[in-house]
């Protein structure tokens, strides 16, 4: 319970209290609303007692008019209070969602490999959305109604000590019972949220793989798995809903008990002449008013049962820490970068190493062709160079600096990567080219598009750089690849990595990319992971990997001329120079 309260307090302090003006205005409206609710019954008591005493009609009419005016003002204040509360709550929620998304983006690939994208979406959007009511309504209906609760009890004590004592005991007992029920229900809502995350993640992954599922006849299996997860969610939501409804039923019983206590006590005090009939009505009204904050608090407790699970899961995500620690050094802002791996050993999951004692040096401005069968570790080397992971043994140096000592932003701004799977966002062409970097001028983007033979395509677009690219729809594979080269060109990196960048293209389209590749590599260090040997004819050095180890490294020309080299053996199996043979190689990327 203390841990829960600490998490609630920390979230409110971090995302609500910082909105000082909004919170201050909300506090003023809360105080005004509470005061108006407490004042209304006092006017009714005066009206009833005045009528019984035979006071002038004008006085009674004046009391009725004041009561009506107070009722209208109370509603106006309540509307203003709700508006401000919603504004404060959703401002906090949006800030929390933004912080959580940024935190996840900064975590390394080891974290993301252990979780599905659907699960993270459910955390960032689903769980945070559950907290919208916590931020907006919780402040109003718990804190505000807590003050109203205290104000009613104080006034009941002023009416008569016996009324104050009995109804105070009733109110505190009711809150104690409802708080106890909240603690019982919270774990059930936590289980329901977990089941929702599992279902959401499953649906997201299967929708992404629709083509493969249908092509391989796995639709029925997928639907059976979906039904299993849906039934699990139904079962957990049903259990959680039962405990939530139990809280509501208990509230109804407590309210009935409060009404009985109020009327019985009022009748007794009236019979002994301790209070007037108007005061009996006032006691009844205040008891009804006392049940209102209890009801609101109870309702919020039910929402808080769900919010508690979301808060715990959000906090757990915030507590997740990556294995990569930020460095302090920066790379030069321009020029090619040298690359050095010294005794690098790496595994993904603590099993068999993917790379074993890999060492090589790539001088500034030199290009390396990286060959090897699937699973040999080629792509792993590129991930280590981008510092998506850190090796378990050995060192990696870029520009004579250990990558562990380099600031992540500096490192990734100086390393450009083009893969066979191009990620295009539902955004303008401008944003897709610059990855939302507003510092790059439009004229520079147009110049690069012309240089990479995309000028005619660009000029045919209806809105130029403002044209919306809906996840790349309408683009050919070659055009998407050329856009990826344009991204790299605009970022001006010192090291360019082409990871199977043309493996899915036909020879005619691949020839169209030759010029783009040559321009991107000009004046830069380059690493080309080759699916076809024809793509490494532009490189100076060849490295062949096998089972995570370097089995051959040297000049491309020298290795091709050496009959016993593995590279020469690959050429002899029919994988000839581009002018002689352009067929596919069995040597694939990993």
- Model pLDDT for residues 277-301, shown as the tens digit of each residue: 777 777 777 777 777 777 777 666 6
Report residue 171 as tokens.
């109110």
Report residue 173 as tokens.
């007992």
Taking residue 178's Cβ as centre, other Cβ atoms within 10 Å add up to 19
Rounded CA-CA distance 405/179 in Å is 51
Rounded CA-CA distance 233/519 in Å is 54
- The two beta strands, 393-398 and 339-346, are antiparallel
Question: What sign results for the dihedral spanned by CA atoms 503, 506, 510, 511?
Answer: positive
Rounded CA-CA distance 413/159 in Å is 73
2-319 matches 339-419+495-500+529-572 in fold:
no
Rg (CA), the chain: 35
Please name the residues in contact with 366: beta carbons below 8 A apart, sequence gap of 6 or more.
Answer: 525, 526, 540, 541
- The two beta strands, 525-529 and 495-499, are parallel
Closest CA to 555 of 572, 569, 540: 540
Instruction: Give residue limits of the domains in the chain.
Output: 2-319, 339-419+495-500+529-572
Rounded CA-CA distance 242/322 in Å is 39
Which contiguous run of DSSP H or E holds residue 159?
Answer: helix 145-159
pLDDT for 583 equals 37
Per the CB < 8 A criterion, the answer to whether 502 and 510 are in contact is yes
Which contiguous run of DSSP H or E holds residue 110?
Answer: helix 109-113
* Residue recorded with tokens 């993270």: 120
- Considering the domain delimited by 2-319, tell me its CATH architecture: Up-down Bundle (1.20)
pLDDT in tens, 229-263: 889 888 888 888 887 777 667 777 777 787 788 77
* Residue recorded with tokens 């699970």: 309
pLDDT for 131 equals 75
Helix-, strand-, coil-residue percentages of the chain, each rounded to 5: 65, 10, 25
Report residue 89 as tokens.
């709550």
Rounded CA-CA distance 88/44 in Å is 35
Rounded CA-CA distance 248/238 in Å is 15
**Per-residue pLDDT in tens (0 to 9) along the chain, 590 residues:** 455 556 666 777 777 777 778 878 887 888 888 788 878 787 877 888 778 777 888 888 888 888 889 889 988 998 988 888 888 878 888 888 888 888 888 887 777 777 777 778 777 877 787 776 667 666 666 777 777 788 888 878 888 788 778 888 887 787 777 667 666 666 777 778 778 878 877 887 788 778 778 777 788 888 888 888 889 888 888 888 887 777 667 777 777 787 788 778 878 787 887 777 777 777 777 777 777 777 777 666 666 666 777 777 788 888 888 777 888 888 888 889 999 999 999 988 767 888 999 999 999 999 998 988 878 888 899 889 988 888 989 999 998 899 999 988 888 889 988 887 778 888 888 888 888 888 889 899 998 888 888 888 888 888 888 888 876 556 777 778 888 888 888 888 999 998 865 555 556 666 667 777 888 888 899 998 876 676 777 788 999 898 889 999 999 889 888 888 888 887 777 444 333 333 333 333 34
What is the value of pTM for the model shown? Answer: 0.63
Angle at 495 between CA 493 and CA 497, to 5 degrees: 110
- The two beta strands, 367-372 and 355-362, are unpaired
Please give the torsion angle defined by the CA atoms of residues 45, 46, 51 and 53, in that order, rounded to the nearest 10 degrees. 110
Angle at 454 between CA 451 and CA 458, to 5 degrees: 125
Backbone φ and ψ for 321, nearest 5 degrees, come out as -125, 135
pLDDT for 303 equals 67
401 in helix, strand or coil? strand
Angle at 100 between CA 383 and CA 195, to 5 degrees: 95
pLDDT for 2 equals 52
pLDDT for 170 equals 81
- CATH, range 339-419+495-500+529-572: 3.40.50.300
pLDDT for 394 equals 92
Burial of 77 (C-beta count, 10 Å sphere; 0-12/13-18/19+)? buried
Closest CA to 324 of 250, 406, 423: 406
């Amino acid at each position: 319970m203390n841990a829960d309260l600490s998490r609630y307090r920390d979230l409110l302090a971090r995302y609500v209290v910082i909105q000082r003006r909004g919170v201050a205005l909300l506090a003023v409206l809360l105080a005004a609303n509470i005061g108006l609710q407490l004042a209304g019954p006092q006017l009714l008591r005066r009206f009833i007692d005045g009528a019984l005493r035979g006071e002038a009609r004008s006085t009674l009419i004046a009391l009725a008019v004041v009561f009506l005016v107070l009722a209208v003002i109370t509603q106006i204040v309540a509307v203003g209070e709700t508006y401000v509360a919603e504004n404060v709550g959703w401002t906090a929620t949006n800030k929390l969602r933004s912080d959580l998304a940024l935190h996840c983006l900064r975590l390394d690939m080891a974290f993301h490999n252990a979780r599905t994208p659907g699960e993270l979406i459910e955390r960032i959007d689903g769980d945070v959305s559950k907290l919208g009511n916590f931020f907006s309504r919780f402040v109003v209906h718990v804190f505000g109604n807590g003050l109203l609760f205290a104000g009613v009890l104080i006034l009941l004590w002023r009416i008569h000590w016996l009324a104050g004592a009995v109804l105070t005991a009733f109110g505190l007992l009711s809150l104690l019972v409802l708080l106890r029920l909240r603690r019982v229900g919270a774990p059930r809502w936590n289980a329901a949220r977990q089941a929702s995350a599992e279902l959401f993640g499953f649906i997201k992954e299967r929708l992404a793989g629709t083509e493969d599922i249908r092509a391989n006849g796995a639709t029925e299996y997928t639907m059976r798995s979906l039904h299993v997860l849906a039934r699990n969610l139904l079962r957990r939501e049903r259990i959680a809903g039962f405990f939530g409804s139990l809280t509501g039923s208990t509230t109804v019983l407590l309210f009935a008990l409060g009404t009985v206590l109020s009327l019985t006590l009022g009748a007794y005090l009236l019979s002994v002449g301790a209070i007037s009939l108007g005061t009996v009505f006032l006691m009844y009204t205040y008891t009804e008013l006392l049940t209102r904050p209890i009801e609101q608090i109870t309702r919020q407790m039910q929402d808080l049962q769900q919010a508690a699970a979301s808060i715990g899961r959000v906090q757990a995500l915030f507590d997740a820490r990556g294995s990569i620690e930020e460095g302090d050094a920066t790379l030069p802002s321009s020029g090619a970068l040298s690359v050095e791996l010294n005794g690098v050993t790496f595994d993904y999951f603590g099993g068999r190493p993917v790379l074993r004692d890999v060492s090589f040096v790539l001088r500034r401005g030199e290009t390396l062709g990286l060959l090897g069968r699937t699973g040999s570790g080629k792509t792993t080397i590129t991930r280590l160079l981008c510092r998506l992971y850190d090796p378990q043994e050995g060192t990696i140096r870029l520009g004579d600096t250990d990558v562990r000592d380099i600031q992540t932003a500096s490192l990734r701004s100086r390393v450009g990567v083009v893969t066979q799977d191009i990620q295009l966002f539902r955004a303008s062409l401008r944003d897709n080219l610059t990855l939302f970097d507003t510092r790059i001028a439009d004229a520079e983007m147009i110049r690069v598009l012309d240089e990479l033979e995309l000028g005619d395509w660009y000029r045919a677009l209806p809105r130029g750089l403002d044209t919306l690219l809906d996840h790349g729809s309408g683009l050919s594979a070659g055009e998407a690849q050329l856009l990826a080269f344009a991204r790299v060109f605009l970022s001006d990196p010192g090291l360019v990595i082409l990871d199977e960048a043309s493996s899915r293209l036909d020879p005619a389209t691949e020839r169209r990319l030759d010029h783009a590749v040559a321009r991107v590599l000009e004046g830069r260090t380059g690493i080309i992971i080759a699916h076809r040997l024809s793509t490494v004819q532009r490189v100076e050095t060849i490295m062949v990997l096998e089972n995570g180890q370097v089995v051959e490294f040297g000049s491309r020309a020298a290795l091709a001329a050496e009959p016993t080299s593995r590279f020469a053996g690959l050429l002899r199996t029919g994988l000839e120079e581009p002018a002689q043979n352009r067929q596919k190689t069995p040597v694939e990327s990993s």
